[in-house]
Amino acid sequence: MKKKVWIGLLALAVAVAAAALLSSLLGGGKTLPEGAAALYKDTVISEETVAYLESAYAQAGQTVNREKIIDQLLMNCVVEEAAAQGGFAAGEDEVAALLDVQRQTYEEFPEAREVVDGYCEEQGITLEDYWVLAEEHARRTILRAKYQEWFYAAQLPEQEIDPEKNPQQAYEAYEEHCQQLLCAASSHITRR
């Protein structure tokens, strides 16, 4: 089971990293570029990324609809922006540590290596290119995690929620906060 979780996390990391790469390559205004499922400011959420995530979820035995995937990718963009505006950043040592775990997973689990190598072949990129994408994804993941930590420390006490005693309620409060950020950013979102 642990192997499937690691493989799933690695596959999702790749897909989100691909979205980040497309974001830097495509940019745009209010009309969607060809192959885009959605746009947040200059960040493109590609149809290819959405399809890849649908497939990854299906392989993990989960059914997640397309709109939910797009919403999650858009929410990631909005949370990352809020985190950066709040002064949060990923330290080089944090990024290196996360990449070390991913590289170790790649080396130790043939299933993970198969997923990554298959992705590289499918995308026409080298393993070196993959690790560049993984590094950018690690930065974004750490940024979102720091924002969530801030929310738990700064906002939950105001709502009288103790994440230690009620982790589900804490998570739901955080998700609601992120939904509010997404709603507030709706004027910067373009969808098909």
- Please tell me the distance from the alpha carbon of residue 16 to that of residue 140, in angstroms, as a whole number: 9
The span from the CA of 131 to the CA of 156, in Å, is 36
List the CATH number of the domain containing 126. 1.10.4030
Beta pairing class for 43-46 and 36-40: antiparallel
pLDDT at position 80, please? 97
pLDDT in tens, 146-158: 999 999 999 999 9
- Per the structure, how many domains does the chain have? 1
Predicted confidence (pLDDT) at residue 12 exceeds the cutoff of 70: no
pLDDT at 23: 43
CA atoms within 13 A on the CB side of 181: 23
Residue 119 clears pLDDT 80, i.e. is over it: yes
The boundaries of the domain holding residue 121 are 2-191
**Distance between CA atoms of residues 174 and 138, nearest Å:** 21
pLDDT digits (tens, 9 = 90+) for 60-118: 899 999 999 999 999 999 999 999 999 999 999 999 999 999 999 999 999 999 989 98
| Res 28: pLDDT | 40
Q: Is the pLDDT of residue 2 over 50?
A: no
124 backbone φψ class: left, alpha, beta (φ>0; ψ -120 to 50):
left
Amino acid at position 116, single letter: V
Say whether pLDDT at 16 is over 80: no
Strands (E), the chain: 36-40, 43-46, 189-191
Hey, CA dihedral for 91, 92, 93, 99, is it positive or negative?
A: positive
Least confident of 6-20, 22-36, 118-132: 6-20
C-alpha to C-alpha distance for 152 and 162, rounded to whole angstroms: 9
Quote the pLDDT of residue 180.
97
Q: Which amino acid is at 34?
A: E
